[in-house]
Amino acid sequence: MVSALPSVPLTLGAHRVVRGIRVEHLCGDPTLSPESDRELMLLIARTALRAIKTQVQEPTLFEREETQAPSVHRELVGAS
């Protein structure tokens, strides 16, 4: 499950939760350039695939690995 509020599905017992971006844009960020937004979407999708392939015994939160999309990370940091 991808969620912008991961504490909710984790509390309810979801086994695998991937942190999304925002409630209205789970797998993207409209403030980014189209290229960076696509990279971010792919990064979240790759994280979800990693979550599916990982065996877990309890509710587990999977974070994006920012090193996979350096231009997205730079743009997000610059926006702050």
Which amino acid does the sequence have at 5? L
- 74 φ, ψ (degrees, to nearest 5): -60, -40
Residue written as tokens 């996979």? 68
- CA 80/CA 69 separation, integer angstroms: 18
Q: Which domain holds residue 67?
A: 2-79
Per-residue pLDDT of the chain (80 residues; tens, 9 = 90+): 999 999 999 999 999 999 999 888 889 898 999 999 999 999 999 999 999 999 999 999 999 876 555 455 545 555 44
**Number of Cβ atoms within 10 Å of the Cβ of 41:** 19
pLDDT at res. 68: 52
Number of independent structural domains in the chain: 1
